[in-house]
Structures are given as structure tokens and as C-alpha cells.
Amino acid sequence: MQRHCTIEQKDSGIFLANEKKTKVVTLITLVTMFLEISVGYWSGSMALLADGWHMASHSLALFLSLIVYYLYRHPKFRSAFTFGGGKILSLGGYTSSLFLIFIAFSMVYESVHHLMNPEREIRYDEALLVSTIGLVVNLVCALILHNKEEHGHAHAHCSHPKNKLSPHGHGHSHSHSHAHGHHHPGAAHDHNHESAYVHILTDALTSVLAIVALLLGKWQGWDWLDPVVGIVGGLVVFKWSLGLIRQSGMDLLDAHDGSIDREKLVRKLETDGSKVMDIHLWRLAPGKIGCELIIKSNSNQQSADYRDVIHRDFDIQHLIIEVV
């Protein structure tokens, strides 16, 4: 009997370390976010306010990452789902992105209103102080999350019994695999952690824009630049939200995964004259790809042989092959 194996079996040490880092960064980000938004309203700086709301979007993303880590550590949750419940990250991202779109529109609306009706004087010194603190916090958080090396580690293996073929040579193979080495992007690679790291770097860029706008406003008297940067910040949040909606929505709807070269995979399997009759590639969870194939064999190849061909060149964790 084949021993049960799930796509969640991996080096848990990496996940535990990244979870601890994410907890620290989330706490720091939340404190800074509240400070920036509060001072942004008080000082009248739309650029600082935009930076605060942009940081809020990343705080939400970090919080979702913590939820994913928490659920991944509980076998009871994973066992309730066919493929381990990894799509909870996509669901959370899709939901949060809808909320962030409203935030983006609010940021743009307030900035436009401030641009057309400059009723309040901007407190540049206070806004500059807080925005600089925000930039420093972002850089510190990026340093905390940064991994110098993220090499592949040994993963748990599943035993794959020999396929029982019918008298006509029909076979079926169902396997889960975890690639080794340093060249496979899916090997012990925490995409959840990588996403949080990118969010922090993007937020640091927004902080730089806010500081530039405040400095030019103070030195050159360009009060109009602050709300303009606020509009730009709102558009950045809006664009990020649309990208997240598209990506998470495609994952939730089991869209064809583009990280695997479908044509190259088919060519590899058809080298001996076999014919790929049907193929499905989709994302099971962050960094986890599923594949189902129906192959018309033109030789004595068995499903296990085709599986070996695929695993040599493609990082696929859930693989089902039917030979007809």
C-alpha cells in the first residue's frame, strides 16, 4: 500500500523561522502605520497619509501571511482540504484587495480635494519626521525579512509502488514529489515570505516619494506637490490591488499555471512517438503545481517512466499520469 503523502511535507524549519520574522515585522509595521496615518491627518500631508495607507495594505498582507503560517502548522486544517488548504492565501488576498480598492479611491479623492481646496497648511517638519521614521522602519523590516540564502533542503519522500498494468498495457500513476538541489524554484522556497518581503520594499519606495514631496514643498513652496504624490500613492495601491485580484482570482478559479512550459513538457513526453491526449496544469498552493496527463503510448513506456521524465526537468508536486 502506498504511504500517504501531501504537498505540505517540506522543511518546516524555514517556515517556522520566517513566521517569527513576520510576527516581528507585522508588529513594527502596525505601530508605524497608525503613527503615519494619525500625523498625516493632523499635519495635512496627503503624501504622508498615502504612505500610511499604503503601509496599511502591507500590514494586511503581513497579517494574512501570519494566518497562513498558523493554519499550515495545524494538520487538522490541512486534512480538511483535498490539497491541504493552501489556497486560503489566495482567498485572503482576493478579499483584502477588494477592501484596498476602496482605500485607494479614498486616498485619491482626499488628495484631489486637498489640491483643489488647500484649506490647511501643511506641517512639513512634523510630517517629514514621521515619514523619515516610516522609511527607516521599512528598511529595518526588509533587513529582518531578508534571507541571504534560501537553498533547497531535503524533503519527505513518498514511496511509489510499481504500477500494476492491465493486459493491454494501461497504467495509472499518482505521485507527489519534492525537488532537491539549488536550481528548482520550488525547493524549500517560501513564497508566502517572499511576498511579504516585496510588500515591504514597495512600501519603502512610497516613503521615499513622500519625503521628496515634503522636502520640495518646504524648500520650494510647492504645496501642490504633496497632494499630487498622494494621488500617485493612491494609484500605486489601486494598481497593486488589481494585480492581486487578478493573481488570486486566477488561482481560486484553477487557471492554467504559466510557471511550467506546457509546450516543452509535451515535447519531452512525445519524444518516443507517444501522444499527449490531455493535460492540465494548475496551482494547488503558493509554489505548488498540480498536473494531470493522459498519454497515448507508442512504446512499452509505463506511467512511472513518464513520471521520471517529467521530474527530471519540471518542478511539479502533484502528478497524475494515465497511459492508454
CATH class of 12-150+190-252: mainly alpha
Q: Where are the alpha helices (DSSP H) in the chain?
A: 12-43, 46-72, 75-79, 88-116, 124-145, 191-220, 225-252, 262-269, 303-313
Q: Which CATH number fits domain 155-185+255-324: 1.10.10, 2.60.40, 3.30.70, 1.10.3470?
A: 3.30.70
Name the pLDDT band for 47 (thresholds 50, 70, 90): low
Global pTM value? 0.62
Name the pLDDT band for 295 (thresholds 50, 70, 90): very high
Name the pLDDT band for 147 (thresholds 50, 70, 90): low
Give the rounded percent of residues in the chain with a pLDDT score beyond 70. Answer: 75
**Looking at residue 191, what is its pLDDT?**
53
Query: pLDDT (tens digit, 9 = 90+) per residue, 71-105?
Result: 777 788 878 887 777 777 677 777 777 777 877 78
User: What is the Cα–Cα distance from 70 to 12, expressed in whole angstroms?
Assistant: 12
Query: pLDDT (tens digit, 9 = 90+) per residue, 197-234?
Result: 766 776 777 778 778 888 888 888 787 887 888 788 77
**Looking at residue 212, what is its pLDDT?**
85
Task: Give residue limits of the domains in the chain.
Answer: 12-150+190-252, 155-185+255-324
- CA dihedral angle for residue 11, residue 15, residue 20, residue 21, rounded to 10 degrees: 110
Query: pLDDT (tens digit, 9 = 90+) per residue, 243-262?
Result: 878 888 888 888 888 888 88
